[in-house]
Amino acid sequence: MLVNMSDPFERLLAPAYASDPRPYFPMLLGNGADSVLIGYNGSMGGGGSHEQFGYDNAVQAGWYKADRRGAKTNRLMNLLQAGYVVLKGVRAQGVDRVDQRFDAVKALLHTKCRICGSIQVDVTTFVTKDHRLVHRFKVKAPETDTHLQFYIKPPDFWWLYADLPDKVTLHTRPTRHGGKAALKFSVEAPELDTMKGLLVTDAPGAKAVTCFSRSPGLDIPVRGTVEFAVAVELTDAEDRQAKPSLLTSRKPFDYKQTLADHVAEWKHFDAQGGVTLSNAYYDELYRASLHTLRAQQHPHGSVSVGSYPLMWYSGHQPFDAIFPHAAFLGANRLTEGRGITDINRLALPKLKKLAADVGLPGFVCPGDITHNGDAVGKLPADKAKRREAFLTLKLFLTAFMGAQAWNLYRFTGRRADLEENWELLVEAANFLCGSCIREFKDHAEIIPSSAPNGKERVKGKSVHFPNPLRSVVVTLMVLEGLVEGSKILGREARPEWARLHRKLLAGIETNRIEGVLRASRSPKAIPNINMSVAGIYSNCFLERKTLLQGQFKLLLGPDGLFRWEDHGYTVVPWMHFNASAALSRIGHKDAAKQLEVGARFTTTLGAFPEGVRPDGVYWKTWYPSPHGSFVNAIHRLLVNETPGRIELFAGLPESWGDATFSNLRVPPGFLVSGSRKKGKVRVKLTNDGDFEQTVTVVLHGATKLKQKVSLGPGKSISLKA
C-alpha cells in the first residue's frame, strides 16, 4: 500500500523504517511501580552489536522504580538493563532494520528486527503487575552456529542522574527455576534498597554464560526457526514487603499463562468504556494515551509526573494529577479515577501534621508527594520559615486535592464517593479559609503566593502578586463542593463557605486590567484564564474574552503554535489539547482544530512530549499530563458537558468520519453511549448516580435535537437525530 507520508494521519500505516517522519523514542511499559523503557530492538539494551552493548541508551533505556522518591534519594534511578545480542560465530551482529507496533488494548509491544540481513528476530514484550518483564522471541536463523544471548547489567552512567556514588555491584548465581535455565541476581548500591531479581528462559538447550557483552546472561542456540520466552523480574524491599512471597513461592514461569493473565487484565481495563474513531491516527493516540496513564499509576493511586531521568525528578503532583484524573473518570475507569483521591486521603494525615506543626489549620500540600504521602522536596528545618514557606507556596495544590474529591462525585453522582472524601474538602477549606483568604466588604482575595509557574522574579527574587487567579478558581470549586455537598449529605454547611464563595467570585474582577483577566492582581501579570483548569473542570470559571483575546494572543508563536514564553520550546502540544477542551466548553468552532495541531507532535509509538525544542528534539516524552489532556479533549469533542446541559458530537469534525463510544462518563453521574454514522446520531443516556437528574440534551447530527430529560437512578433514555 502506498502511504502519503506528507499526511500525518496516513503515516500511521507505514512501518517505522519506511520513511516515517515521526521521531522515535523508546516505548514505556509499566505497572505503576515499575517503568521500563524498551528500545527499538524490543529490549532494554541497544541494537545488539558489539559497539552498542556497553553504552547505547545507557541513561534512558532501562528499568526504573518509578514512584520511589523522597525516602533515600529524590532522584529516579535506572536500576538495570537487560538486552540481547545475536552471536554468529565469534561476532555479534546488529540490527539494521526495525518495525514496531504497540497494541494498547493488550498492552503488548511487537518488534520486528532484521539482523544483518539474514536473521529475523520478532519480539513481543510486556510488563506484568507482579514485576516481570516478559519477552517472547521468534528467531529465524538459516545459518548454523547462531546464538541469542540475553544478558543483564547495571546501566552505565546512571549514578550521574541519581546523585549516588559511582559504586554499584551486580551479584549473579546460575540456578534452575521450575526445571528451566535461570540466573538469580541482586543489584546493590549505597543509599539504595537491595534489588533482587531472576532471569529465566523456557528455551531448550539454554545455559548460563558470560555473554559476548561481558555481562552475565543466558545463551540460547538457534537454528532454523525457534520460539522461546525470556523473563526478567526485579523487586526492591518495598515490593517484597507488600508481597513477601513474591520471590519464594511463585509458580514456575509459564509464558502462556503469564500472557493470558496480562492480556485479560488489560482487556478488562479497556472494556470499561471505549472510543472508536474512523480516523486511525487519533484512535491509536487515544488508546496509547490511556495505556500511558494506567502504566504510570502506582497501586496506591498516585501518578508520578515522570518515570525516568531527564524527564522529571518528582512524585505525585496535585496539579498534574488533574489530567489523568479527568481522563480516567471520563473514560469510566473508576478504579483508576478513584485512585487519585485515594492517594490524597492516604497523604492527608501527614499533610495535616505538617500544617499543625506550624500552627496552621487544615492541611498543606508542600509540592510533590511520594506514593506514601511524604514530601519529595526538603522543607525548612526552622518552624517559622516552614510556616512562611507553606503560606507562599502554590496554594492551589492544596485546593486541587479538595477539588478532585468534589469532581469525583460530579462524575459518579454517588453519595458514597462524596462521603468517603468529605474530609479532603473540609480540611482543604480549613486551610484556605483560615489562612489564605483576605475578606473585604464586597469581595475576597487569595493572599500573595507563588505564581502559576513559580518563576516570576524581579532582580533575582521571587515576586508574589496578590489574588493569584488559579488559586481563586480552584478554591471556588472547593467551596462549591462544600455548599452543594452539604445538601447532598444532609450536613450543616458553615456560613463562611457560601459567603466566601460569593465574595471570591466577585474578587476575580479585581484582576481585570485593560479588559482582560490577569493571572493575579497586577498589571505585570500575564492575561490568564487557565486553559488547563478551564478545559478540565466543567464548573470552572471561564471567560470567553480573556481566553481568546488574552491567553491565545499571548501564547501563540509566529508559527501559530502554543508555547511557553520562558521554556524555549517551539511548541507545547498539550497546551493545544487544553485549548481544545476550553474551546469546546464555549462552543467554539476551532476546538477540534487545536487538538489536530497538537496531535501532530507524537512519536512513532504514540508518545507526546512536554515540548518540542527549536532543534526538533522531543523533550520529556511519555509525560502523563499531555496524554491525560489529549484524552480529555477527545471526550469533549464527543460529549461536552456544561452545568445543566450535555451536547453530543458538537465538536467532532465531519472530516473525521464516523465515531462510536460506549460508557463515557459525564457530570452529574451520567453514562453516555453514542454513535455517529453517515451523519446520523444515536445516543443512550443512563443516570448512574444516586439521585434524580434533569439535564438538557443536545444532539448534533444530520438534524439537531434539543430535549430536556429527567432520569431517576438507573434509568436510561435513547435519542436520535
DSSP one-letter string for 80-101: EEEEEEEEETTEEE-EEEEEEE
Which residues have a Cβ under 8 Å from the Cβ of 147 and sit 6 or more positions away?
A: 86, 87, 219, 220, 221, 222
Answer whether residue 120 shows pLDDT above 90. yes
- Report pLDDT for 12: 46
Cα–Cα distance measured from residue 108 to residue 312, given in angstroms and rounded to the nearest whole number: 26
Which residues have a Cβ under 8 Å from the Cβ of 270 and sit 6 or more positions away?
A: 104, 105, 287, 290
> CATH fold of 31-246+255-271, please?
Beta-galactosidase; Chain A, domain 5 (2.70.98)
Answer whether residue 605 shows pLDDT above 80. yes
Cα–Cα distance measured from residue 161 to residue 76, given in angstroms and rounded to the nearest whole number: 7
Cβ distance 443 to 436 under 8 Å?
A: no
Cα–Cα distance measured from residue 334 to residue 338, given in angstroms and rounded to the nearest whole number: 6
Average pLDDT over residues 20-42: 90
Answer whether residue 163 shows pLDDT above 60. no
Answer whether residue 229 shows pLDDT above 80. yes
The percentage of residues in the chain with a pLDDT greater than 90, rounded to a whole number, is 68
Cα–Cα distance measured from residue 181 to residue 123, given in angstroms and rounded to the nearest whole number: 20
Cα–Cα distance measured from residue 708 to residue 697, given in angstroms and rounded to the nearest whole number: 6
Residue 530 region by backbone torsions, left for phi larger than 0, else alpha for psi between -120 and 50, else beta: left
Closest CA to 34 of 58, 59, 66, 81: 66
Cα–Cα distance measured from residue 203 to residue 215, given in angstroms and rounded to the nearest whole number: 19
Answer whether residue 202 shows pLDDT above 90. yes
The least confident of 4-18, 206-220, 596-610 is: 4-18
Average pLDDT over residues 148-155: 89
The percentage of residues in the chain with a pLDDT greater than 70, rounded to a whole number, is 91
Average pLDDT over residues 84-92: 87
Element (H, E) at 665: strand 659-666
Cα–Cα distance measured from residue 292 to residue 231, given in angstroms and rounded to the nearest whole number: 22
Cβ distance 122 to 100 under 8 Å?
A: no
Cα–Cα distance measured from residue 582 to residue 91, given in angstroms and rounded to the nearest whole number: 57
Average pLDDT over residues 208-222: 93
Average pLDDT over residues 412-428: 98
Answer whether residue 266 shows pLDDT above 50. yes
Cβ distance 514 to 303 under 8 Å?
A: no
- Which residues, listed in sequence order, are joined to residue 297 by a DSSP beta bridge? 303
Closest CA to 646 of 625, 670, 630: 670
Average pLDDT over residues 130-143: 92
Which range of 375-384, 494-503, 523-532 scores highest in mean pLDDT? It is: 494-503
Question: Helix/strand/coil (H, E, C) string of 239-255?
Answer: HHHHCCCCCCCCCCCCH
Top-confidence residue, 376 or 217: 217
Cα–Cα distance measured from residue 624 to residue 40, given in angstroms and rounded to the nearest whole number: 21
**Which DSSP state fits 413?**
-
Which residues have a Cβ under 8 Å from the Cβ of 245 and sit 6 or more positions away?
A: none
Q: Going by DSSP bridges, is the β-strand pair 108-115/512-513 parallel, antiparallel, or unpaired?
A: unpaired
3-state secondary structure of 29: strand
- Which residues, listed in sequence order, are joined to residue 80 by a DSSP beta bridge? 63
Closest CA to 221 of 144, 116, 119: 144
Average pLDDT over residues 507-520: 94
Average pLDDT over residues 494-516: 96
- Report pLDDT for 244: 65
For residue 243, give the amino acid letter: K
| Cis ω for the linkage preceding 668 (within 30 of 0) | yes
Q: Going by DSSP bridges, is the β-strand pair 108-115/119-127 parallel, antiparallel, or unpaired?
A: antiparallel
Distances in whole angstroms, Cα of residue 676 to Cα of each of 249, 372, 550, 649, 696: 52, 44, 35, 8, 19
> E strands, 154-179, where?
169-177
Average pLDDT over residues 305-315: 78
- Report pLDDT for 685: 97
For residue 239, give the amino acid letter: D
The residues spanned by each domain of the chain are: 31-246+255-271, 315-631, 648-720
Question: Helix/strand/coil (H, E, C) string of 579-628?
Answer: HHHHHHHCCCCCHHHHHHHHHCCCCCCCCCCCEECCCCCEECCCCHHHHH
Closest CA to 670 of 715, 702, 705: 715
Average pLDDT over residues 169-182: 92
Answer whether residue 16 shows pLDDT above 50. no
Average pLDDT over residues 572-585: 96
- Report pLDDT for 509: 96
Average pLDDT of the chain, as a whole number: 89
3-state secondary structure of 684: strand
Cβ distance 386 to 379 under 8 Å?
A: yes
Instruction: Please give the backbone phi and psi of residue 118, each rounded to the nearest 5 degrees, phi first.
Output: -120, -20
- Report pLDDT for 20: 67
3-state secondary structure of 134: strand
The three cell numbers locating residue 359:
500552627
The pLDDT-based confidence of 567 (bands split at 50, 70, 90) is confident
3-state secondary structure of 511: helix
Average pLDDT over residues 555-579: 91
- Report pLDDT for 166: 55
Average pLDDT over residues 425-452: 95
Cβ distance 400 to 325 under 8 Å?
A: no
Give the torsion sign (CA, 538, 542, 548, 550).
negative
* pLDDT tens-digit readout, 629-675: 999 999 999 999 998 999 999 999 999 999 999 999 999 999 999 99
The pLDDT-based confidence of 1 (bands split at 50, 70, 90) is very low
Answer whether residue 93 shows pLDDT above 50. yes
Cβ distance 540 to 477 under 8 Å?
A: yes
Closest CA to 101 of 287, 278, 353, 270: 287
- In words, the CATH class of domain 648-720 is mainly beta
The pLDDT-based confidence of 9 (bands split at 50, 70, 90) is very low
Residue 348: alpha-carbon gap to chain centroid? 22
* pLDDT tens-digit readout, 32-71: 999 999 988 899 875 555 444 444 444 578 898 887 765 4
The pLDDT-based confidence of 510 (bands split at 50, 70, 90) is very high
Alpha helices in 421-464 (DSSP H): 422-435
Question: Helix/strand/coil (H, E, C) string of 33-74?
Answer: CEEEEECCCCCCCCCCCCCCCCCCCCCCCEEEECCCCCCCCC
CATH of 315-631 among 1.50.10.10, 3.30.70.260, 3.40.718.10, 2.40.110.10: 1.50.10.10
Top-confidence residue, 72 or 505: 505
Which range of 155-164, 452-461, 547-556, 669-678 scores highest in mean pLDDT? It is: 669-678
Instruction: Please give the backbone phi and psi of residue 679, each rounded to the nearest 5 degrees, phi first.
Output: 85, -15
The three cell numbers locating residue 161:
542522574
- Report pLDDT for 184: 95
Answer whether residue 159 shows pLDDT above 70. no
Closest CA to 644 of 696, 592, 602, 718: 696
The pLDDT-based confidence of 466 (bands split at 50, 70, 90) is very high
- Report pLDDT for 246: 59
- Report pLDDT for 358: 97
Instruction: Please give the backbone phi and psi of residue 194, each rounded to the nearest 5 degrees, phi first.
Output: -60, 130
Answer whether residue 514 shows pLDDT above 70. yes
pTM above 0.75, yes or no: yes
- Report pLDDT for 457: 81
Residue 165 region by backbone torsions, left for phi larger than 0, else alpha for psi between -120 and 50, else beta: beta
The pLDDT-based confidence of 74 (bands split at 50, 70, 90) is low
